[in-house]
Structure 1
Amino acid sequence: MELTNTNTMQVSTEIDEGLRISAVAFETSDAVMVTDADGNIIRVNQAFLDATGYSSHEIIGKNPRVMSSEKHDKSFYNEMWRQLLQVGFWSGEIFGKRKNGEIYPKFAKITAVKDKHQRVTHYVAVYNDLSERKRSEAEIRNLAFYDALTKLPNRHLFVDRFSAALAGAFRLNSYGAAMLIDLDRFKILNDTVGHECGDLLLIEVASRLRACVREMDTVARLGADEFIVLIENASDDQDDASRKVGLVAEKIRGSLALPYHCKGQQLLSSPSIGVSLYGGNEKSVDVIIHQAEMAMYQAKDAGRNTIRFFDPVMQNKVALHASMEHDLRNAIAQRQLHLYYQIQVDKNHQPTGAECLLRWIHPVRGLVLPNIFIPIAEESNLILDIGHWVLDNSCKQLALWARHEQTRRLTLAVNVSAKQFAIPDFVDNVARILKEHEVDPARLKLELTESVMLENMAATIDKMHALKALGVSLSMDDFGIGYSSLSYLKRLPLDQLKIDQGFIQGITMDGSDAMLVQTIIDLATNFRLNVIAEGVETEAQLTFLKHHDCMAFQGFLFGEALPIHEFELRLC
């Protein structure tokens, strides 16, 4: 009898311990629901009540269907029950519904509990609420694929959508377009009215863009004030697609040009729009976007607030530009650059010197003139290396001339670009080159354009005085074509004004050109400056210039630009 009591006590203790463990496990942070074999809820824990919003008396005895989200179809539940009945276990993501009607995601594990005869007695479901995780994932996705300010797709998502659109255009044999939109002078507006208003304007631009296109089209922000629109399936005819896209582009241009308002201020902005059509089978996404960008810059060059379609001719020009820039980078090392010399004479037609003019003799392209390659050099900063090379070789030539009586008093005029002049050690470079070649500084004349003064007038004047202190003379090239000439003239330590050849060409035909040239000569005389006319080609032009006391001349009438050996032969 004592043995029986002892065994009974042990069993009771084990049962109590099991119940305590079950109670602790039941009050986990995960939601737990227990149903009977028929699926009626018989027990839930506090986490379940917190997650669903129900109280115990509201949910006990009910079927879990009362919390159905109705987001899953019949086949979903059929598969769930198949696994529960055959395997005894199911897990996966499922949507539930809280008491307040809110639909939320959760991860569920449902286990079928069986007795010793393998009959299902209960089902135990453990739920983990995924709402917060899904929100975090959505935020991360938004950061990765959407612009934080405008909520538009960013470049990454746009490229993904565009790639899919290209494939679709190929299958459907249809045409679409990419429109690159840049807000004109936005940086100035942003700096003037403040970044808060600037941001509000960008948000409004995004809203207007969405309103101008179809639901199926994509509007994205590439960055700063640059947006892009993808128009899909415009037409299966290229001309018709071009017409339709043009209408959309004009609708966008008109919408974005309307006034904006911020803090009681009316803000005005306008777009420059570049358009590139695509057919889905011959261009990549990057190529089409690049073409739209080139067209957009064409719109900028055309005066802004306008639309330009990409033109293959434009592409050829860009490709040629890139090819020439590549070749120009090697031109100095491969000795393709050459100095030509155009004579300058006084009123008695006696040589006073020459202007150094750069020529590029390419092994395939042949002679490339400065008006072709200098702008490329300016854009790419190659002008700094080229300018140094020109200055160095000009001084080397002056050193050679100094050895001969016939040439030792000649001056050389060397053009200096605004970028070259702007480098901090430009004056030191000039001094070093003069010293290295032992050149009389008075023989070197630097020709500057008015663009050197546009950034910092005071610093420019200081640098010019430093050059004058070296003994170098300074000439203002193309005088008369800039807006600032007269106002700055008295402040600049110049030795000479050079009248632009465009005015010289018209002095015998255009009264206004003649009057302007006469005025420039009078100004130079009043400021005690030397004056030289470039581009003199006819005796009639020379006669006019001499009559009005022009002091020096340069042009085809006296000689074209020549290589050094031919130039020196002409001097003999």
Structure 2
Amino acid sequence: MSASDDYKRLQLALEAAGLDLWENDLVAGKVTHPATRTFQELGYTLEEVGDSLAFWMEILHPDDLPGVGAALEAYRDGRADNYRSEFRLRSKDGQWVWYANYGKVMSGTADVGMHRFIGVTFNIDDRKQREEELTRINQLLSAQNQQLDQMNGHLEKLSTTDPLTQLCNRRAINERLHRLVSTGQPPSALLFIDLDNFKKINDLYGHDVGDILLCQVAQRLQSCVDAGDLVARFGGDEFVLVIRETGNSASPFRTRIEYLCARILSILAQPYLVGDLMLSTYGSIGVVCFPDDGWTVDELTKRADIALYRAKHKGRNRYCFFQPNMETELQYQNNIETELRTALKTRQLELLYQIQVDRNLRPVGAEALLRWHHPVRGLLSPLAFLPDAIAGGLIHDIDELVLDTACATLGKWQQDPLLRDLTLAVNITARSFEHPAFADTVMRMLEKYRLPAGKLCLELTEHLKAQSFPDAAHIIDQLRAHGVRFALDDFGTGYSSLEALKHLKFDQIKLDAAFVADITDNTTSQAIATGVIAIASAMQIEILAECVERHEQLEHLMRRGVDRYQGYLFGKPLPQSAMEAAMHSTLGAQMA
């Protein structure tokens, strides 16, 4: 590492500790490196400061000059190992601000040739203004050789306190946990808490609003614990609680922790008022107990994090206690993610195509269906691996691969007189659809393969969240303007079907297989299908029935006015070449 890197790291460390580096040449009476941050706090520009010590002397409080001189003389004649002093400086608006100096000669000696007099300045105005803090610090200083120990105490506080929330920080938590496991104290619980949708608040309203929200969360968490329990900010929007067994409760310790978790979730879910904004966020909690879940700090923190991950995976705004099987399941998921990354690179993921027909049973398009040719487990449907892909952050890459492959197929069809009029439907996960770059990605594909309007249909499921509808509507409108069609898949199986239709524009509704399967003899399915078809007709939206496998189903659906059909009755999902051959055969025969 170069000297320049060392210097930058020193600068960063000093800034983090609130220290301002300076260097003076006392022989020449020059400022070699001004205390830039200090003068900026006081409202002065570097041009006003200049390179002479005269400016510093000019804004120094007259009453503090003797003390500064005495400290310097004590260092010069060897009565002090360091130069240490406190003084007031006049800000540009006339206010007096307290600072402390700590310095040493780095070139020459203290009594001769003070060419490189280097030190740090730090603001102590708050301490001077608060009598209680001043008393505490003075007691600390008297026990540790006055001003030198003040600096050590300040640095120690910085090293164990989160500057934003004033809670303990990660280091303090680790120290408490190490004491806990080394002394074998009574049972304790470690709670990892993560805020849900905090990043969205930061993105929408800015980090200043996010910081205020974090401070309010810190206050709420502190209100939930007893004296002796520890609340800390682990970093970002993560908080940690260490709860100890006091023996004062008649309830079992785990029951007490369960009650505490429920209370924390309830308190965190209450609205937050930040200025004129009314904000909402929730929490997820992972819990481990000492000594049941581990005897080392690494075991406890790792397993608390696993439990937190499980809580978020199960739907967020909930708590979860660590169970041994969670580690095994997590390892399995990690293995799946690794295999999926390999599958993406080695083209193990393939699209199969299933034909779609109109009321005349003429092929009008197909749906692209993703499959994974797993080297050990065989052919896998998306249900077997997409949840792991979403959890592992791979879903965007997979959806982009699917979209690119499908658009390439459509582009090829445009060169074939028999296939050029076919449409192609592609399933898009809600996670990818909500990605900020999704619309740009689709439009790039349209341009790349020169696709005409109306050929690409994107199928969305009801997993779109209601709070995402405004953004979803904007994306749909943007892409429909470029000729992309949209279908609402699995219609009727979720609670948000009608809500989605109310806020979003769809070109097609896909009647779910759950209603098609028993449409001939189940009056409930018949009633639902009739209602869906009526809604689609009233809104002038095309309706497609999927998973049609029997002629009786087809006849029943035709009588009810369904526009298009898909299912084994017309063809199983096939590789691209086989599907194209089947299309050629069918369309060629119909044209003959």
TM range (shorter): 0.5 to 0.7
Q: Determine helix, strand or coil for the equivalent of 2:545.
A: strand
Aligned position for 1:138: 153
Q: Judging changes above 3 Å, is the alpha-carbon distance between structure 1 residues 456 and 106 closer, same or farther for their aligned structure 2 residues?
A: closer
* 1:194-273 equivalent positions in 2, closer than 5 A: 199-200=215-216, 202-211=218-227, 215=228, 218-223=230-235, 226-230=238-242, 244-253=252-261, 255-256=263-264, 257=266, 272-273=284-285
| Alignment check: 8 A CA contact 1:104 1:130 kept | no
* 1:56-67 equivalent positions in 2, closer than 5 A: none
Aligned position for 1:391: 403
Q: Judging changes above 3 Å, is the alpha-carbon distance between structure 1 residues 555 and 425 closer, same or farther for their aligned structure 2 residues?
A: same
Task: Give the Cα separation in 2 of the matches to 1:101 and 1:378.
Answer: 52
* 1:406-445 equivalent positions in 2, closer than 5 A: 407-418=419-430, 420-421=432-433, 422-423=436-437, 424-435=439-450, 441-445=453-457
Deviation at 1:411, TM superposition (A): 2.9
Q: Deviations over 1:325-356 (max 9, x none)?
A: 22222323211111111222223434333211
Residue number among 145, 160, 164 corresponding to 2:175 in the alignment: 160
Q: Deviations over 1:76-128 (max 9, x none)?
A: xxxxxxxxxxxxxxxxxxxxxxxx99994678xxxxxxxxxxxxxxxxxxxx9
Q: Determine helix, strand or coil for the equivalent of 1:209.
A: coil
Name the aligned partner's letter for residue 144 of structure 1: S
Residue number among 545, 548, 570 corresponding to 1:558 in the alignment: 570
Name the aligned partner's letter for residue 535 of structure 2: L
Q: Judging changes above 3 Å, is the alpha-carbon distance between structure 1 residues 526 and 255 closer, same or farther for their aligned structure 2 residues?
A: closer
Task: Give the Cα separation in 2 of the matches to 1:322 and 1:339.
Answer: 24
Q: Judging changes above 3 Å, is the alpha-carbon distance between structure 1 residues 220 and 330 closer, same or farther for their aligned structure 2 residues?
A: same
Task: Give the Cα separation in 1 of the matches to 2:486 and 2:272.
Answer: 50
What is the alpha-carbon root mean square deviation over aligned residues?
Answer: 4.6
Residue number among 286, 303, 311 corresponding to 2:323 in the alignment: 311
Deviation at 1:374, TM superposition (A): 2.7
- The runs of 5 or more residues in structure 1 that have no matched partner are 1-26, 33-99, 108-127, 236-242
| Rg larger for | 1
* 1:525-540 equivalent positions in 2, closer than 5 A: 525-540=537-552
| Alignment check: 8 A CA contact 2:138 2:146 kept | no
Q: Determine helix, strand or coil for the equivalent of 2:490.
A: strand
Task: Give the Cα separation in 2 of the matches to 1:105 and 1:295.
Answer: 42
Q: Deviations over 1:220-270 (max 9, x none)?
A: 3324654323356899xxxxxxx944123134236544699999x999998
Question: Does residue 355 of the first structure (1) align with residue 363 of the second (2)?
Answer: no
Q: Judging changes above 3 Å, is the alpha-carbon distance between structure 1 residues 163 and 507 closer, same or farther for their aligned structure 2 residues?
A: farther
Task: Give the Cα separation in 1 of the matches to 2:288 and 2:244.
Answer: 12
Q: What is the percent sequence identity of the aligned residues?
A: 34
* 1:312-391 equivalent positions in 2, closer than 5 A: 312-380=324-392, 382-391=394-403
Q: Judging changes above 3 Å, is the alpha-carbon distance between structure 1 residues 365 and 232 closer, same or farther for their aligned structure 2 residues?
A: farther
Name the aligned partner's letter for residue 133 of structure 1: L
Task: Give the Cα separation in 2 of the matches to 1:180 and 1:550.
Answer: 52
Aligned position for 1:467: 482
Name the aligned partner's letter for residue 150 of structure 2: R
Q: Judging changes above 3 Å, is the alpha-carbon distance between structure 1 residues 244 and 220 closer, same or farther for their aligned structure 2 residues?
A: farther
- The runs of 5 or more residues in structure 2 that have no matched partner are 1-68, 75-134, 586-592
Task: Give the Cα separation in 2 of the matches to 1:233 and 1:487.
Answer: 48
Deviation at 1:532, TM superposition (A): 0.5
Deviation at 1:369, TM superposition (A): 1.9
Name the aligned partner's letter for residue 285 of structure 1: V
Residue number among 516, 523, 546 corresponding to 2:535 in the alignment: 523
Task: Give the Cα separation in 2 of the matches to 1:228 and 1:526.
Answer: 54
| Alignment check: 8 A CA contact 1:427 1:466 kept | no
Aligned position for 2:162: 147
Deviation at 1:204, TM superposition (A): 4.3
Q: Judging changes above 3 Å, is the alpha-carbon distance between structure 1 residues 338 and 284 closer, same or farther for their aligned structure 2 residues?
A: farther
Aligned position for 2:85: none
TM-score of the pair, normalised by structure 2: 0.61
Aligned position for 1:547: 559
Q: Determine helix, strand or coil for the equivalent of 1:288.
A: helix
Question: Does residue 180 of the first structure (1) align with residue 192 of the second (2)?
Answer: yes
Q: Judging changes above 3 Å, is the alpha-carbon distance between structure 1 residues 382 and 105 closer, same or farther for their aligned structure 2 residues?
A: closer
TM-score of the pair, normalised by structure 1: 0.62
Q: Judging changes above 3 Å, is the alpha-carbon distance between structure 1 residues 482 and 434 closer, same or farther for their aligned structure 2 residues?
A: farther
Task: Give the Cα separation in 2 of the matches to 1:520 and 1:158.
Answer: 56
| Alignment check: 8 A CA contact 1:166 1:280 kept | no
Q: Determine helix, strand or coil for the equivalent of 2:329.
A: helix
How many pairs were matched up? Answer: 438
Deviation at 1:526, TM superposition (A): 2.8
